[in-house]
Amino acid sequence: MRAVLHHGERDVRVETVPEPVLTEPTDALVRVTLSCICGSDLWPYRRTTPPEEPSRIGHEFLGVVEQVGADVRTLRVGDLVIAPFKHSCGECEFCLRGLQTSCVRGGFYGTPEEAGAGQGEKVRVPNADGTLVVAPVGVDDPRLPALLTLSDVMATGHHAAVAAGVGPGSHVAVIGDGAVGLCGVLAARRLGAERIILLSSHPDRAAIGRTFGATDVVEVRGDAAVERVRAMTDGLGVPHVMECVGMQGSWDTALGIVKDGGRIGYVGVPNGVTEGLALGRIFRRNVTIAGGVAPARAYLPELMADVLDGSLDPSPVFDLELPLEQAPEGYAAMDERRAIKVLLRV
Amino acid sequence: MRAVLHHGERDVRVETVPEPVLTEPTDALVRVTLSCICGSDLWPYRRTTPPEEPSRIGHEFLGVVEQVGADVRTLRVGDLVIAPFKHSCGECEFCLRGLQTSCVRGGFYGTPEEAGAGQGEKVRVPNADGTLVVAPVGVDDPRLPALLTLSDVMATGHHAAVAAGVGPGSHVAVIGDGAVGLCGVLAARRLGAERIILLSSHPDRAAIGRTFGATDVVEVRGDAAVERVRAMTDGLGVPHVMECVGMQGSWDTALGIVKDGGRIGYVGVPNGVTEGLALGRIFRRNVTIAGGVAPARAYLPELMADVLDGSLDPSPVFDLELPLEQAPEGYAAMDERRAIKVLLRV
């Protein structure tokens, strides 16, 4: 089968790899119909040290169940399923509490021995019952791109909003105008936020942000952004801040604009956060820091319900659509910020 | 009048200073009857660089209202009042939300021009209506030491528990067996915690911790403490961790023992936290960090009610009682860990 392989710095290729097979009775084999490229896929893509050997990549996909193990109870061959970006058993304490990302039996797709990942024609999904969510739609449904976002990016934006404590009437700032930040805007609006300040210096992204619910856009960066947001909020800052980048600069902005007693909900993978979080900057101000890797599986049912009833549509974050074979062009487009997020048709 | 002055490293003296006078119509003048030494007073005490000139110190006190400004409405001369360690207006957005430590008009007692602090015979209290809490007891009431703890230490322990999300049935770990940590144990029990693991390597402090409600004591430190707590909790860690120290080592322990999805409530003034908070250590685990400087004023009424009805008694944290004149001996005793917390009778 065909799949994307990461060879080295800015070098991904679509090549022929062995097909995965069922190995555990709780596995399912999924034929991927839609996949996409995540902002976090760009970190290995940009890394100057190549992997020891070409490695599979990708963790967002949906597709059709092709085969199930003997112990799989809730899935049937032919089901269209959405895969959260990590698999999880559905039965441990963490899964039952909605923190499937900490599942004691869960993990990422593929193992060191048997490569496997979302940017390819098929995926072996361990813990299939606990992981996959059946979408009651056909393979030609126009809502599939929107449903695919629930695999990671929309779930992650939602997690930022939940972690930041966003609710009806909230005043919110969103740091990051990538796909996650934009989904964060959508999530904040969905949760009832009244004012949503999006920090975005890219007019095209800001435009999507406005259609997603941003009431204000701050197009300057760094200290100027902190000053601007403070000026917009009587000098006091914003009670709910969503940090959707994960760099030192975005954290500095988050700490600069958050109101005393407020919450920073963060979902940006810490990358280039060189100094650690300066506790001295928040101690006197009682700022809460919450978030982390999003338990997409926990949020999938409620978000899917909203996609299916038409009240939620994150699909505009996909501004470039390519066949799997052109994945390398998709990576380059996202790397060069020519595209926000690339949908791959498999 | 007599007051404690900080002269330099391990050098405090009781000297004669000018009496404070009312300067604003919203001030009250309080004749201090009880004061005490805070763990945080030891930071300047230990600092090797002396202050530019001898400076007043102390921020926990209770006493009798001696004089009120023309605009003071809720206090009368003769009232016995408890002073939270910061003053606050009671009317701004932060005060109304219970975050008086961020009051836009508030601050610490005394100003650079007019020195004033809690370890002395009298204090000018700005924003008196918003700050002082009248205790309906006499100056000889045996509960006064317990009431004095509400000025800071018990309120701070309570804040750690609240920030850590402690509630009925919670499993909790308390890092720090100083007066704040011990009060944290008491606060966790008061909020209904079922299991309270106190990290304490001092048998005398652990003994008080047990009377305050600790169900388990871990007497080892550092990595060994992390290992022990994990072994006690099926390897998963503790969902509610109260960080009551503020050093790099205590934070490392907190991050090591907190359960995925858990909360660290922190109140230890960050001091010697050299590396900042390692976001990379909590991102995958969805650990929430909350807390900061305790809004003692917000908690005073409910905690006072419990002291007055006999259900709450933090006074055993005072294990040494001295007259104000012997404050230097009190500092030395706390510095050398011969005393947990020193009560000063004025």
* Mean pLDDT on B140-165: 98
Structure confidence at residue B279 as a pLDDT band (50, 70, 90)? confident
Q: How far apart are CA A102 and CA A331, in angstroms?
A: 29
pLDDT given at position B110: 72
pLDDT given at position A112: 54
At the top level of CATH, which class does the domain A2-152+295-345 belong to?
A: alpha beta
* A285 near B CB under 8 A: yes
Angle at B83 between CA B213 and CA B29, to 5 degrees: 160
Q: Which residues on adjacent β-strands are paired with residue A63?
A: A32, A81
Size of interface A-B (CB pairs under 8 A): 97
Q: Which residues of B touch A283 (CB under 8 A)?
A: 266, 269-270, 292-293
Q: Which of A97, A260, A289 sits opposite B102 (nearest CB)?
A: A260
Classify domain B158-291 at the CATH superfamily level. Answer: NAD(P)-binding Rossmann-like Domain (3.40.50.720)
Q: Which of A236, A277, A288 sits opposite B288 (nearest CB)?
A: A288
* Mean pLDDT on B278-287: 91
Question: Phi and psi (nearest 5°) for A257?
Answer: -105, -10
pLDDT given at position B125: 96
Structure confidence at residue A114 as a pLDDT band (50, 70, 90)? low
* Mean pLDDT on B284-307: 98
Region label for A7, one of left (φ > 0), alpha (ψ between -120 and 50) or beta (otherwise) = alpha
* A282 near B CB under 8 A: yes
Q: Which of A85, A260, A264, A267 to mutate to test the interface with B (most CBs of B within 10 A)?
A: A260
Classified as helix, coil or strand, A324 is helix
pLDDT, chain A, mean? 95
Summarised one tens digit per residue, pLDDT across range A322-343 is 999 999 999 999 999 999 999 9
Give A283 to chain B, closest Cα distance, Å.
Answer: 4
* A291 near B CB under 8 A: yes
Summarised one tens digit per residue, pLDDT across range A284-333 is 999 999 999 999 999 999 999 999 999 999 999 999 999 999 999 999 99
Q: How far apart are CA A79 and CA A29, in angstroms?
A: 11
Structure confidence at residue A277 as a pLDDT band (50, 70, 90)? confident
Written as one string, the DSSP assignment of A163-189 is HTT--TT-EEEEE--SHHHHHHHHHHH
> In this structure, which long-range contacts are made by residues B94-97, counting pairs with CB atoms below 8 Å and at least 24 apart in sequence?
B94/A260, B94/A261, B95/B130, B95/B297, B97/A261
Give percent of chain B above pLDDT 90.
90
Do B158-291 and B2-152+295-345 fall under one CATH topology? no
Summarised one tens digit per residue, pLDDT across range B179-230 is 999 999 999 999 999 999 999 999 999 999 999 999 999 999 999 999 999 9
Residue B27 has pLDDT above 70, yes or no: yes
Structure confidence at residue B114 as a pLDDT band (50, 70, 90)? low
* B97 near A CB under 8 A: yes
Q: How far apart are CA A52 and CA A30, in angstroms?
A: 28
Asked if the Cβ–Cβ distance from A99 to B276 is below 8 Å, we say no
Q: Which of A236, A284, A291 sits opposite B292 (nearest CB)?
A: A284
Residue A111 has pLDDT above 70, yes or no: no
Map B24-44 to HEC letters.
Answer: CCCCEEEEEEEEECCHHHHHH
pLDDT given at position A281: 86
Q: Which of A276, A283, A289 sits opposite B278 (nearest CB)?
A: A276
* B288 near A CB under 8 A: yes
Residue A54's alpha-carbon distances to A3, A7, A8, A109, in angstroms, are 11, 5, 8, 16
Q: Which residues of A touch B260 (CB under 8 A)?
A: 94, 99, 102
- Residues 109-138 on A with a CB inside 8 Å of B are none
Q: Which positions ≥6 away from B302 have C-beta within 8 Å? A: none
* B283 near A CB under 8 A: yes
Classified as helix, coil or strand, A319 is strand
Taking CA–CA distances from A269, the nearest residue in chain B reads B283
Q: How far apart are CA A125 and CA A103, in angstroms?
A: 15
pLDDT given at position B213: 98
Summarised one tens digit per residue, pLDDT across range B48-61 is 998 889 999 999 99
pLDDT given at position B195: 98
Structure tokens at B300: 């005073």
Q: Where are the domains of chain B?
A: 2-152+295-345, 158-291
Classified as helix, coil or strand, A87 is strand
Structure tokens at B261: 């999805």
Residue B87 has what DSSP assignment?
B
Q: Which residues on adjacent β-strands are paired with residue A134?
A: A81
For the entire predicted model, the pTM comes to 0.95
* B233 near A CB under 8 A: no
Asked if the Cβ–Cβ distance from B261 to A290 is below 8 Å, we say no
Q: Which of B59, B180, B279, B282 to mutate to test the interface with A (most CBs of A within 10 A)?
A: B279
pLDDT given at position B112: 55
Q: Which of B97, B261, B278 sits opposite A102 (nearest CB)?
A: B261
In B135-247, alpha helices (H)? 144-148, 153-163, 179-190, 203-212, 222-232
Taking CA–CA distances from A270, the nearest residue in chain B reads B280
Q: Which residues of B touch A101 (CB under 8 A)?
A: 284, 286
Structure confidence at residue B74 as a pLDDT band (50, 70, 90)? very high
* A260 near B CB under 8 A: yes
CB B261 within 8 A of CB B287: yes
Summarised one tens digit per residue, pLDDT across range A75-94 is 999 999 999 999 999 999 99
* Mean pLDDT on A236-246: 97
Q: Which of A251, A289, A292 sits opposite B285 (nearest CB)?
A: A292
Give B171 to chain A, closest Cα distance, Å.
Answer: 15
Residue A204 has pLDDT above 80, yes or no: yes
At the top level of CATH, which class does the domain A154-291 belong to?
A: alpha beta
Give A279 to chain B, closest Cα distance, Å.
Answer: 6
Structure confidence at residue A270 as a pLDDT band (50, 70, 90)? confident
